[in-house]
Structures are given as structure tokens and as C-alpha cells.
Amino acid sequence: MANSPSLDIPIALALYRRMSLIRRFEERVSELYKQGKISGFLHLYIGEEAVASGVFSALAPQDYVVSHYRAHGHALARGVDPNRLMAELCGKETGTSQGKGGSMHIFDTSKGFLGGYAIVGGMLPIAAGLALGAKLNGEDRVALAIFGDGALNEGELWESMNLASLWGLPVVFLLENNGYGMGTATKRACALQEIRRAPELYGIKTEVVDGMDALAVREAALRAISQARSGKGPAFIEAICYRFQGHSITDQLLYRERAEEEEWKLRDPIAKLGNQLEDAGMKVEIDTIAQEVAKTVDEAAAFADTSQWAPEQSMYDHVFAEAE
């Protein structure tokens, strides 16, 4: 993995703001879940903020994104409205899908954010299809497919990489390798330990990046997205990262060593970039961002709390397509 790029202050501040928003948002979401205001499953993104912030800063507005079910951070990094996102998690009518998708199925077509998918690896053929459509229609679009290491043993990954390479599709495969698929260490579940070798066998250029370094992730994403957009075929990024929370909010983390967790927390991406910015004389800006982020999250929680539930009749909406 390459060293972190030199500090570009405006870009670094933007990345720090986005990571801080994701962290504070997720912390509030955890509180709301424990208060019974969020139901169902909940998978937090705390610890992995540098991946979403870095990659999404390199995307163009017209690009597509498909993600997995740990997608709140991805949605925020893509610019999805925090109010509507929080309302969706709380099942309210003002949510991005009128409260019908919930935590695991975030969707916002206005941002090209075409879903968080609960089926492991299920987003990969969709990304390939979106990229194929963009290529056939001559559109300047790249499809970003985000998946975790739990998808490494799923056939959809290999089929999607094969077709993407054969057809030269403008798709970027982003592996968030946090070391565990649910409660099983990747090294115990995947025989292929050098993961980058797999896409390279399909002729796909691959880069491994420190997923705890937002600036490094951004640089890798710029290269991968540029390749895909320029017609040179798909690219693959493996971001080595770590989730500070369990797989889901009810996970007791009995399968990880405390020493391992503490070691990774010393590499907290927000603290790391914050220290770099403070060393560059940005202490006032850092403090201002903290205040603004706290205000944004408070407003999102209040918006969700005061929003109405969808009427009972709405359960029949959007079930079938209207006949023409």
C-alpha cells in the first residue's frame, strides 16, 4: 500500500467533515435503536468512514452506486439528505423510501444511489448491468459496486468480474475488507489470501489501499474511476479497513481479541486526519466542523422524530407497475 498523499487542505477538510458526519450520525442511530425508535436489523459503519468519504469524493454526480446493507455511511458520503436518511431508518413517511426500506435498503435515485442490498454479493450483477447500459447508451457514467469480504466466496463476484472484463464495462469493484464476514475471519473462510490476484486473473487492474486513510483511498479511487470512465475497462480496489462495532448492533464480538480491536482503534481515520489538519493550523476549522456536524445530526434526529408514519393504505403502493 502506498503512503498517504501530501495534505491538500480544502480536500482534507471536506473529507474530515464527511467522515465526522458519518461517525456522529451512526452514533446517534445507535442511540435511537436502543431507545426503540429504529426497528429491524442495524449494521453500523463506525471505523470505516475513510473508505466511503475517499471513494465518493472521486465520483461524478451522474455515476451509479450500488452497496451492501452497511450503507448509511455510503449514503451520507454520496450526499443523501441526513434528515430523509434518518427518517427512513425510523420507518417514517418522509424517508428516502417512505420508511419501507429501512436500514438495509437505502435508495435515492436523485443521487444515483441505487440501493443497499441484503443479499451478500447481490449488488454485483446489478452494477455490471448498470455499467453495460451506460456503455451501450454512450453515457459518461461509471458504476461503483461496494461489497464486503463476505462476498468473496459468492459466485456473483466472479461472474460479474468476468463479464465486466470481457465487455470492457465502466465498473469499479470496491472491496471493503474489514477482516470479518459476519463473525468469521476472512482468513478462515477464503482460501485465497492474496485477494488482489483474483481480479488480476480476469485482466482487471487492482489496487490495495489503506482503508483507514481517506486521502489514500481518494487517490486510489481517482485512478480506478478514471480508468473505468476512459473506456479502459473495470477496476478493482481492495480497501483494508476495520469496523469498530460488531457485525450488527446486537453482535457481542466474542470472536475478536480485545488487543486487536485496540490496535485498530489507534488508527482511527478521523483522529488521524484531524491531527494532520491541526498540525497544519486548522484547529478552528476542526472545531467549527464538529459544531456543524452535531447540529446537522440533532436536526436529522428531530426531523425523524416529528415525521409522520406512512398511512396503512400505503403498504399497497409501489407493489405492482402500472399497466400502460
Percent of the chain residues past pLDDT 70, beyond the cut: 98
Gap between the Cα atoms of 266 and 213, Å rounded: 12
Residue 213 in this model has a pLDDT that exceeds 90: yes
d(CA 241, CA 59): 20
Grid coordinates given for 15: 473529507
Task: Using CB atoms within 10 Å of the CB of residue 324, give its burial: 0 to 12 exposed, 13 to 18 middle, 19+ buried.
Answer: exposed
Positions of E strands within 59-170: 64-68, 113-117, 143-148
Residue-wise pLDDT tens digits, 38-74: 998 999 999 999 999 999 999 999 999 999 999 999 9
> Are the C-beta atoms of residues 52 and 269 closer than 8 Å to each other?
no
Q: Where does 9-305 sit in CATH, by number?
A: 3.40.50.970
- Global pTM value: 0.93
Distance CA 74, CA 78 (A): 6
| CB of 88 closer than 8 Å to CB of 97 | yes
Return d(Cα 235, Cα 239) in angstroms, integer.
13
Fill in the DSSP letter of residue 111: G
Radius of gyration of the chain (CA): 19
Write the single-letter amino acid at 177: N
Of 22-26, 119-123, 307-311, 314-318, minimum mean pLDDT range: 314-318
Question: At 120, which amino acid appears?
Answer: V
For residue 313, the model assigns a pLDDT of: 86
Query: Grid coordinates 480508468 are at which residue?
Result: 227
Mean pLDDT of all residues in 87-110: 94
Q: What is the mean pLDDT of residues 22-38?
A: 96
- Strands 205-210 and 180-181 turn out to be unpaired
Average pLDDT value over all residues in the chain: 94
9 pLDDT higher than 80: yes
